[in-house]
Structure 1
């Protein structure tokens, strides 16, 4: 394989693995704010117990997220030196803002969140929970802003020529509020909220099936269900707005997402299908004129197709983009149906009577994870062959010095390390879930066990 393909595979692999954890951190942060807020308001012990339990899960996820995110910054320098020079001024300001306004807040209050029980007042601890959650939100803001600038560049000018060319910010706020940043950020936030909510639903559905920790599992399940139902529906709206933005700013990407080639034809919206790039046809089940209505609010108007785009500027993997996009849509609609149905059963007082429903929810943790991944693939593959849309092609962004065999060796090493980390993560997560919430822990005891390590009482006695 070529150096470019291997470099793209390596970055796709590392960012996909990393992207498992930040959405979970953001989503769990919201759930923790709700749980602890209910405890502060009601002083009911079950809310405190469930909050303490999920803080332990949050700490594990947060640690893996930090560890897996660092490596991507090195890849910018080793594999994508031309790209790094080109976008350095833009990314530098955005990532600096993340460090100052997001990560500093999140990490600064994390210690109180994890170890502050019985050391600070419940109000101070609740404030620290809110601040950690806000820090995770702000972190997503600057990462999405930087990525959205690549999709829809704004607030800059180009300095230099050829290999020395670089983008330089002329208007910071125009860069921040570029044409796609707000709608993409909303879409990412909602996906993260769903990732956290479905993790909580999954674990508590497991407890309900096993008839364990029911005093905590049932109210926690209801909290997560309310969050999941609300944001499943909200995500449908956010996704529609985001698609409108893609139609306006990146017509080639939208055409690939729906396998649409003929610019003179009314565009259907496919429920599922298959794209034949060579024959420039798409077959499957579709809503006639559906894409035309989405773009123009008119079933009879044509939509820009791939044939209107220069061949060298079209996405290459059209069928893959089409499939990833439709998997995301199918999962989104499944999430709406599942959560709305569960809410209906909740209203009828039969939510926990249906064993099959709890079994489905026990596996439902996979839904938002898959949707977030394929949504990211759709966005990134859909802007190819551009790494900065309309300005810098991916083939021109590579490091001149890096060789294909060097990338291949490092990719193999990353795969081994990341596989080890993932197995370790699953082991620790499974251990914590099987152990479950520990109601009415003795004062100060819980601080010693956030990572599954409890101090040996004989060692404690000896030290004393």
Structure 2
């Protein structure tokens, strides 16, 4: 393995490990905001209990996300110094904006959110929760703007030193052609990931005690979110795919396995074994015309093939082909689970159908797998470029020895699995504990002003549900 491949493997490992946590914390911060808002609105102690239950989990997830993200920023200087030198005038300010607008906002209010629940008023604490949720979304916005610019560069000029610099206004750089589609697709993916985890935890405890009010409420909320978000994600993914076909056609052709042009309409290849040496998908299972119907919304529309592009510009087709199918397959499974939940709700069996609960538990990790598969599709499909069409990956790496990269990669693997494995185990232990009605609620809540204790509110909620 040469130094370039090892550098790519190291960044792929660290970024994949890192993105697991933001994909969860973005959705979980918004879920906590909803829980606390419902608690303030209804005065129900049930929402306060659920808020405290998930707040402990959020604290661990957020902390691991911050720690794992710090490593990536160093890699730009150590492993990808040429890329940093040439793209720094564009990438650097965008990353700085993320720190100033998002990270400071999150860090400033996170302490109030985590430790001020018994020290500040309920409305001020709710405001802190909202700011943390907003900070996670703003952080995702800037990071995705950076990545999208690398996918569809715009608003740049190249100076005498060969650096990418702003050509004028920053707006074309920030709002580059793929950014809106990638932002919507990624944020919805984070919400789906969180709804699957919350639903899995609720279903796990329903299988043990169907009368647990916290488990019932979290499972119901998760199934609603899944049923609403999954169809929207499919539409967002379709729009994102059409934009990618326009801007990065070779990536989409690799995703679909279309090696040869299809002048009369491309088939939809469901499965097969891509063979880039022979330029075909062996043992393919395909549906005629459906590929053009999806990509061009016309079954007879012609479609290019990878052979229309120089072979040195092809991405690694087998990786992109299969990661895309993993993502889409899990997306269809999420939609099916959401529809299953709607059917159970219609039959008034949402808390009784054990098959639904087992399916929700099994689908708990699906969101994480889907987002990693989606990012593999996005990043590997961009190869052989770091800045698409302008700067090759081979020309972006630092001049390091393969042995040094191999040692550092091995060290990352050992440390990450030890440290983050322990953190994940602790999170699973927190999730294994069912939400308890006696978890203390913050003081000065609306129901106390009305002479109702949190315990009484929980009892009333149990009877209601």
Q: What band does the TM-score fall into relative to the shorter chain? A: over 0.9
Q: Deviations over 1:291-317 (max 9, x none)?
A: 2223322211211211111112111x2
Distance 1:95 1:197 in 2: 29
- Does residue 77 (structure 1) correspond to residue 77 (structure 2)? The answer is yes
Aligned to 2:32: 32
Q: Which moved more, 1:296-305 or 1:433-442?
A: 433-442
For the Cα contact (< 8 Å) 2:260–2:280, is it kept in 1? no
Tell me the TM-score normalized by structure 1: 0.92
Separation in structure 2 between the aligned mates of residue 431 and residue 212 of structure 1, nearest angstrom? 20
2:451 is matched with: none
Q: Is the Cα contact below 8 Å between 2:102 and 2:135 reproduced in 1?
A: yes
Relative distance call for 1:167 and 1:444 in structure 2 (3 A) is same
Q: In the alignment, which residue of structure 2 is the partner of 1:453?
A: none
**1:437, distance to aligned residue in structure 2 (A):** 2.6
Quote the offset at 1:35 in angstroms: 1.4
Inter-partner Cα distance in structure 2 for 1:105 and 1:329: 34
Q: Paired residue for 1:454?
A: none
Q: How far apart are residue 48 of structure 1 and its match? A: 0.5
Partner of 1:189: 187
Give the number of aligned pairs: 440
Q: Report SS of the residue matched to 1:284.
A: strand
Which SS does the other structure have where 1:365 is aligned? coil
SS of 1:210's equivalent in the other structure is: coil
**For 2:240 and 2:262, how far apart are their aligned partners in 1?**
24
Unpaired segments ≥5 residues, structure 2: 444-465
What secondary structure sits across from 1:440 in the alignment?
coil
Distance in structure 2 (CA, Å) of the matches to 1:242 and 1:181: 10
Question: Of 403, 406, 416, which residue of structure 1 is paired with 2:404?
Answer: 406
Counterparts of 1:298 and 1:209, CA distance in 2? 46
C-alpha RMSD of the superposition: 1.5
Once the two structures are overlaid, the 10-residue window that deviates more, 403-412 or 88-97, is 88-97
Is there any run of 5+ residues in structure 1 with no aligned partner, and where?
Answer: 446-464
What pairs up with 1:45-194 in 2 under 5 angstroms?
45-160=45-160, 164-170=161-167, 171-194=169-192
2 CA distance for matches of 1:366 and 1:148?
Answer: 26
Match of 1:285, SS state, is strand
SS at match of 2:270: strand
How far does residue 324 in structure 1 lie from its aligned partner after superposition? Answer: 0.5
Q: Deviations over 1:63-117 (max 9, x none)?
A: 0000001001111111111111111011111111111111111111111111122
Q: CA separation of 1:313/1:212 partners in 2, compared to 1, >3 Å: closer, same or farther?
A: same
Per-residue displacement from partner, 1:258-316 (whole Å, max 9, x unpaired)? 0112224331122333212122112433332222223322211211211111112111x
Alpha-carbon distance in structure 2 between the residues aligned to 1:212 and 1:349: 14
What is residue 350 of structure 2 aligned with on the other side?
Answer: 351
Deviation at 1:443, TM superposition (A): 6.8
Corresponding residue number in structure 2 for 1:394 = 393
Distance 2:388 2:174 in 1: 16
